Structure 1
């Protein structure tokens, strides 16, 4: 089974992806973890590395290609990244988008990273704007287009355990036979 979990920073992607991967015994591959590791290797914060990626498109392209290869070549994996649904659009069994209002996400990030909420809000907004522009420029992907996703949730509406229960119930109820013989949702081929 290949699952994808996508969404903006602070939406609960990592928390829910880790819980789903554990519940369904899937390898959890996090694009965010890889991105942060690459930033740390260069001695940069994720925000600084994101700004560098604006100038050097190879950073995004290498990360996205690596994640796409995982989606194509591996089974029993949960792929988590902002573009995971797009990267695995024609291979994923279930594509999930998680979101929450910006204020909720900023509070979560501030709590997680030990910074003031207003700083988290500014950094997150800047990061989202930057990524959105790059995805459009590189791949002609409108990140706000959620039509490729099978499930979309506002995670501010449920606590972490309840959200994990809802997601697990949806995955357990998935019947691959329903998808047999159907045309792919997206005809567009993205070059990652």
Structure 2
């Protein structure tokens, strides 16, 4: 199977994707790791690269093309990024969406990146607004449209083991013969 894990910054995507990949003995491919590597290569922080991407659309398009190629070519993968569900499109077997209130997400980011909460909150809001604008402009994606996802989980309600349990139940109980059809990813312009 190809499983995608999507959601905003600080929602727990990397944690769930890693845990899910381990539990299923799948490969974990992280769009965040790819993005952070691109930032390091350019001697920038992820926020700086995110800002640069506002003027250089090739940064996003290169990352998104890699995600789409992985989705088209591989199985037994947990593909994780903000747009993994959109980029994997028809190739994904199960699309998961993670979310949490901004305050919880900012707190997680502040702890992970060892920065003040207010700074993390401001940066998270700025990054989210910037990305949403670019996704709409490049691909005609409404980041708030969750209709393409099979399951949405508020990770502020469950800890990582609980979130993993919910996701594993969805994967384990999936019966392809009973599947009446994936929600199509309509309207996206795959222009890389």
Question: What TM-score do the two structures reach when normalised by structure 2?
Answer: 0.96
- Structure 1 contact 8–98 (Cα < 8 Å) conserved: yes
Equivalent in the alignment of 2:50: 50
Equivalent in the alignment of 2:164: 164
Q: How does 1:19-38 map to 2 (within 5 A)?
A: 19-38=19-38
- Structure 2 contact 140–188 (Cα < 8 Å) conserved: no
Equivalent in the alignment of 1:119: 119
Alpha-carbon displacement from aligned partner over 1:113-134 (angstroms, at most 9, x marks no partner): 1000000000010000000000
**Whole-Å separation in 1 of the counterparts to 2:183 and 2:158:** 31
1:183 CA drift (Å): 6.7
- Structure 2 contact 147–183 (Cα < 8 Å) conserved: no
| Structure 1 ranges of 4+ moved more than 4 A | none
**Whole-Å separation in 2 of the counterparts to 1:20 and 1:157:** 18
Q: Does 1:129 align with 2:129?
A: yes
Q: How does 1:12-161 map to 2 (within 5 A)?
A: 12-161=12-161
- The alignment's C-alpha RMSD in Å is 1.2
Question: What TM-score do the two structures reach when normalised by structure 1?
Answer: 0.96
1:189 CA drift (Å): 4.8
**Whole-Å separation in 2 of the counterparts to 1:57 and 1:189:** 16
Count of residues in Structure 1 that have an aligned counterpart in Structure 2: 191
Please state whether the residue corresponding to 2:134 is helix, strand or coil. helix
Q: Give ranges in structure 1 of 5+ residues lacking alignment.
A: none
**Whole-Å separation in 2 of the counterparts to 1:47 and 1:163:** 27
Please state whether the residue corresponding to 1:88 is helix, strand or coil. helix
1:159 CA drift (Å): 1.1
The alpha-carbon distance between structure 1 residues 8 and 59, as it changes in their structure 2 partners (threshold 3 A), is: same
1:91 CA drift (Å): 1.1
Q: Give ranges in structure 2 of 5+ residues lacking alignment.
A: none
Equivalent in the alignment of 2:185: 186
